[in-house]
């Protein structure tokens, strides 16, 4: 595969998640960034959204999207690009990042690589290199949970696995088999490759799934969820149903002003907040089931 199709849009936040859900049904990988570039804003009004397609979508879907959003042709960018050019023009080398017990690297340094300390996550189409606040929040929480060594965790699942970074971290921490699920085919392929790159393919099982409807296990001790607020709310009953007693769910991918609607729903089910991690305008919640 040498080419990829790229669709760029500027979206009003009121409709952004619905549009992203629609693009995901077309097998797109989505990246949305605050168009105002204001990390202090709790309510970004506009987002620059980019959708990556491995196969060219039907053009009438794009025209329909533009028509419904009242987007002029000049405001919508849809191009076929060489993958190598995307990396040359947009991908800058990422600095190693240290979170908890691990150092997350973009590529393997064969001279200094330490299998027990380093986790390799190349920048690519699967979301999650450890540099985004939502990913950092869950990695921080996983290390906090691990320090409570009097608690046993056997069944673990990562919902919306992206690059596989969270499942790989869980497998490294507990040396147990971890289930990874994602709706995006590219994320699944990326997670499988990254598990092999970190010598953890025997501990990682990656499955294409939408939320927690179909999983290997009936109940889990740790559920990591790094998706948007709307799909989190859709899955909140299943999260409660699938979580073992004394289990933990780590929820990220939500803005600070969205956390209370999530917490209120969880509180009604008897799930309590243990710890909160904030960075920029993003929040990560560590929730325990009593």
pLDDT value of position 4? 84
Tell me the per-residue pLDDT of 19-37, one tens digit each, with 9 for 90 and over. 887 887 777 878 777 776 5
SS (H, E, C) 135-162: HHHHHHHHHHHHHCCCCCCCCEEEECCC
Q: Tell me phi and psi for residue 186, to 5 degrees.
A: -65, -40
Give the domains, in start order, of the chain with CATH numbers.
Answer: 3-89 (3.30.70), 127-289 (3.40.50.150)
For residue 130, pLDDT beyond 80 = no
Beta carbons within 10 angstroms of residue 216's beta carbon: 12
Q: What is the mean pLDDT of residues 90-98?
A: 69
Read off the pLDDT band of 144 (50, 70, 90). very high
For residue 134, pLDDT beyond 70 = yes
Most confident region among 57-71, 117-131, 242-256 by mean pLDDT: 242-256
For residue 108, pLDDT beyond 80 = no
| Cα distance between the two ends of the chain | 49
Backbone CA torsion sign across 197, 198, 204, 208: negative
pLDDT value of position 156? 96
Task: Spell out the residues 6+ positions from residue 35 whose beta carbon is closer than 8 angstroms to its own.
Answer: 10, 44, 45, 46, 47, 48
What is each CA distance from 205 to 172, 178, 212, in whole angstroms? Answer: 14, 6, 15
Q: Rounded to an integer, what distance in angstroms lies between the CA atom of residue 29 and that of residue 26?
A: 9
What is each CA distance from 101 to 11, 144, 148, in whole angstroms? Answer: 38, 10, 14
Residue with the two structure tokens 């869950």: 138
Mean pLDDT of the chain: 83
Read off the pLDDT band of 51 (50, 70, 90). confident
Give the percent of the chain with pLDDT over 90: 34
Tell me the per-residue pLDDT of 145-188, one tens digit each, with 9 for 90 and over. 998 866 778 899 999 998 999 999 999 999 999 999 998 888 89
pLDDT value of position 191? 92
For residue 41, pLDDT beyond 50 = no
Tell me the per-residue pLDDT of 187-225, one tens digit each, with 9 for 90 and over. 898 899 999 989 999 999 999 988 888 899 999 999 999
Tell me the per-residue pLDDT of 223-252, one tens digit each, with 9 for 90 and over. 999 988 888 888 899 999 999 999 999 999
pLDDT value of position 128? 65
For residue 92, pLDDT beyond 70 = no
């Amino acid at each position: 595969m040498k080419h990829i199709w790229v669709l760029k849009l500027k979206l009003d936040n009121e409709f952004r998640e619905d549009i992203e859900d629609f693009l995901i049904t077309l097998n797109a990988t989505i990246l949305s960034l605050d168009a105002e570039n204001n990390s202090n804003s709790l309510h970004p009004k506009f987002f620059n959204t980019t959708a990556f397609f491995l196969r060219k979508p039907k053009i009438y879907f794009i025209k329909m999207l533009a028509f419904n959003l009242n987007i002029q042709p000049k405001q919508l960018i849809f191009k076929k690009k060489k993958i190598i050019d995307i990396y040359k023009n947009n991908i800058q080398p990422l600095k190693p990042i240290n979170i908890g017990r691990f150092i997350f690297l973009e590529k393997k340094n064969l001279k200094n690589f330490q299998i027990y300390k380093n986790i390799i996550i190349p920048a690519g189409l699967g979301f999650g290199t450890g540099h985004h606040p939502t990913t950092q929040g869950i990695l921080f929480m996983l290390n906090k949970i691990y320090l409570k060594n009097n608690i046993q965790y056997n069944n673990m699942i990562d919902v919306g696995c992206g690059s596989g970074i969270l499942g790989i971290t869980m497998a490294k921490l507990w040396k147990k088999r971890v289930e990874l699920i994602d709706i995006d085919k590219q994320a699944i392929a990326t997670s499988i490759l990254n598990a092999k790159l970190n010598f953890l393919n025997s501990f990682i099982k990656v499955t294409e799934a939408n939320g927690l409807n179909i999983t290997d296990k009936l109940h889990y001790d740790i559920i990591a969820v790094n998706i948007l607020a709307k799909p989190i709310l859709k899955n909140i009953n299943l999260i409660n149903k699938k979580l073992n007693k004394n289990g933990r769910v780590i929820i990220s991918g939500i803005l600070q002003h969205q956390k209370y609607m999530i917490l209120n729903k969880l509180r009604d089910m008897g799930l309590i907040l243990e710890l909160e991690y904030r960075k920029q305008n993003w929040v990560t919640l560590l929730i325990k089931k009593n």
